[in-house]
Amino acid sequence: MIKVSISYYFYDFVDIYSSILGGSLDLHEESGLAAIEAANLTSELSKILRPEGEAMRITDRTSTILYNESSDPGPGQGTRPEVDRTQLRSLLLESIPQDTVKWGHKIKQAKQADDGTYTLIFESQPEVTGFDIVVGCDGAWSKVRPLVSETMPHYSGVSAIELRHRNVSIRNPSLSSLVGPGTLFCLHDGKVLCCQRNGDDSIRVYAMQPTEESWTSTCGID
C-alpha cells in the first residue's frame, strides 16, 4: 500500500484572510475542468463558474482600449471559464471527508529516509513518517522543492503591490465598467496594472513595475 501525503499548510492568521485568499482562476478543458469532471463535481461547479470571466481587455495609460476579447465567445467556444479560488477551495473541501485535511501544520522540512520514504517535519506538530509520495503545493519557497531541485528562486526584477476594490459596481461604477466582467491589463513604459474581476463584486489589482529588489523595504509603504 502506498501512503500518499497531499497536505495544506497554513499560518495561524489564515482564518482572518480566508474570504480573500487568492483571486480568480481560469479552468481549462484538458486540465481543471477534466479534474472536476473526474471528481463528479461538475454540477456543483456550474453554480459558481463564471464563463463571462474569460473576457480580457488591454488598454494604454489613457484607458484607450487596444484589445477587447468578448465575454460572450459563442456556443461551444468558451474553453477557460473563471471561478473564484476561495469558492473552488470550499467546493473541494466539502467534497472530501472532514478529517482529510490536517489544518495548522506549517511545514519546516521534508526529508527522504534511507528506505526511500519521506518524513514531514512541522513547526508545532509532531513529525510524520513513512510517505512514499509527497506532493508540495506551497509555492516557490516550498519546503518540498529541495527534494527535486537545487535551484533557488531568484528576484525577477519586477515588484508588485496588490490592492482590492470592494463593492465596485456601487462605489466606483466607472472603474467597474472599464474592467468589465473579466480581466484588464493597462500597459505603459514597462509597467502594468492587472485588474481582475472577482465574483463578489470586487476587483483585485496588481500594480507591477521594474525596480530594485530592495524597493519593497525602501518605498515607504507599510
**Which residues face 120 on adjacent strands?**
110, 128
Q: 33: which 3 cell numbers?
A: 475542468
Q: Which position has the grid cell 474570504?
A: 19
Grid cell 477551495 — which residue?
89
Angstrom distance (rounded) from CA 84 to CA 92: 12
Compute CA distances 198 → 67, 136, 203, whole Å. 21, 27, 6
Cβ(182)–Cβ(163) under 8 Å? no
Single pTM value for the model: 0.79
pLDDT in tens, 85-102: 999 999 999 999 888 888
**Chosen CATH of 4-53+78-147 out of 2.40.50.140, 3.40.50.970, 3.50.50.60, 2.30.110.20:** 3.50.50.60
Q: What cell does 200 get? A: 463578489
State pLDDT tens for residues 32-63.
999 999 999 999 999 999 999 999 999 999 99
